[in-house]
Amino acid sequence: MLALDVAAYASPWRRRHPVEKALLALGLLGCALLLPPWPGALVVGLTAAVALLGPAALPPRLLVRVARTPLLFILTGSVPMLVAVSGPTQVRWAPEGLATAATTAGRACAALLCLLLFAATTPLADVLPRLQRLGVPSAVTEVAALIYRMLFLLLESVHAVRQAQAARLGYRTWASTYRSLAGQAGAVFVRAFSLARRWEEGLALRGYTGSLAVRTEVRQPSAAFLVVTVLLLAAVVLATRMLVVLG
């Protein structure tokens, strides 16, 4: 399993109703998008980080591990805002784009922490059946569930093929590394195709009619948690407004 999925199943909030966590994460996400970027993004980001590392008990090392790749995309996506093209071959530093880049990066970082707050506390298996009850077409949830399950099998295949290639010194030189990567892509494609066909045959033999029956645990949202969440969101908005006035 992916590290984020393992964290979601081990989270102290694992047994909480997804609606509670969705209200908190999506409410903070709305604040990150609607409030003034500075200091709104900072307040929202700190709130989400404290919730992740505090009540949600996500290890700091894991937070850094799962956030570093999206942060790299945010950083590289902000760099083009700092330059301007004046002619066919002239690229210059654009100080007027610094505010736009900072605003975009700040909102994106805050939004990333909000989404991680939901993903690190809520397994996908808890969300998909409830989305179907909310009216999302079953075809969408079924395809998402099948892709989610197949993803881990493909990752295991990639790991097994890579180990076999490494045991045969397949990564000793750059040339052998390229050959091994090409062979790995082909082997994984064949395995994925074969696995998909076997799944289709297995589902057809079990009388699959377009919907998988999944049993979910019946839970009720905690009124206390929802009230605290609403108060926290109001505090975030109030703190941002006060900092704007004082600034």
What pLDDT digit, counting tens, does each position of 8-65 carry?
888 898 888 889 999 999 999 999 999 988 888 999 999 999 999 999 989 999 999 9
**Average confidence (pLDDT) over 78-100:** 81
Q: Is the pLDDT of residue 214 over 70?
A: no
Q: Is the pLDDT of residue 218 over 80?
A: no
What pLDDT digit, counting tens, does each position of 219-238 carry?
788 899 999 999 999 999 99
Q: Look over the chain and give the mean of its residue pLDDT values, rounded to a whole number.
A: 86
- Give percent above pLDDT 90 in the chain: 32
Closest CA to 29 of 102, 107, 100: 107
- Give percent above pLDDT 70 in the chain: 96
- State the pLDDT at residue 210: 67
Phi, psi of 112 (to 5 degrees): -60, -45
Contact yes or no for 120/56 (Cβ under 8 A):
yes
- State the pLDDT at residue 82: 86
Cβ neighbors of 73 (< 8 A, separation 6 or more) are none
Q: Is the pLDDT of residue 140 over 70?
A: yes
- Is this structure's pTM higher than 0.85? no
